Amino acid sequence: MLPSPIWAMAHNHGAHRNTGSQRRPNRSGEPEASSFSSVVAGLSLSLSESTCEGGSTSKSSLEFTSSSVFSSQVSPREAVAAGGNPEPKNRARSFFLFASAFFYAVELLREAAMANLYVTAVPPADLNRNTEWFMYPGVWTTYILILFFCWLLVLSLTSCSPGMAWTVVNLSHFLVTYHFFHWKKGTPFSEDQGIYNGLTWWEQMDNGKQLTRNRKFLTVVPVVLYLIASHTTDYQNPMLFLNTLAVMVLVVAKFPNMHKVRIFGINADK
């Protein structure tokens, strides 16, 4: 037999809810849930009355009361309004998923930033062994270090001034690069079957493509050497004349309009 206070509370609550033909839907479209606070209040009232009347609460009344409370349709909004926390596990799971996605995005950004630190050289379709060495990472740095150590070598072996040593390095760089880059033709390898016999090293580089990064670098180097040698010698002759002549010949030979051009037939194919 159910305790009279609990039966009266359930009867009154059901009669009050059934006054209309149907339950009025709330704003979300679902039926209006029972009040969480009223059920809890009824539970405490029934427990207190049953305890006062009988001195102890029966097991059946506790089971009925607890099942009535937990089986009632209490919305999360009403539970939060009553001071409860309806979904602690869902909130913890959502926080864990958000944190995992955040750290995964940070890791992707770090890997992308690290990938930009490495230089990737893409070889052309027709790879020429005579020019492929200049596509390796670190060639530009090695090129500059060789020029710097040559200046130190000239400065240490001779008693000349630093400006004169730069002039010697600039003229030596002119003679070496003009001979091997702009005068000598062909390749030392036989597997190319003579297809590069009529082209200089500069004309073979990057498959003949103009204004590439390598070509721009090799064009800037003699200009920088000219400026350093001229400035350190205080623009005095004959060093200024020799340095100017060297840089003009090297820069003009590297122009895109001079590709496969032989001025006055000099160094032309016989």
Q: What is the tens place of the pLDDT at every residue in 146-204?
A: 999 999 999 999 989 999 999 999 999 999 999 999 999 999 888 878 889 999 999 99
Asked if residues 73 and 34 have their Cβ atoms less than 8 Å apart, the reply is yes
Asked if residues 254 and 214 have their Cβ atoms less than 8 Å apart, the reply is no
How many angstroms separate the CA atoms of 32 and 74, rounded? 9
For residue 107, give the amino acid letter. Answer: E
User: What pTM was estimated for this model as a whole?
Assistant: 0.54
Q: What is the pLDDT of residues 204-242, one digit of tens each?
A: 999 889 999 999 999 999 999 999 999 999 999 999 999
Asked if residues 233 and 240 have their Cβ atoms less than 8 Å apart, the reply is yes
185 in helix, strand or coil? strand
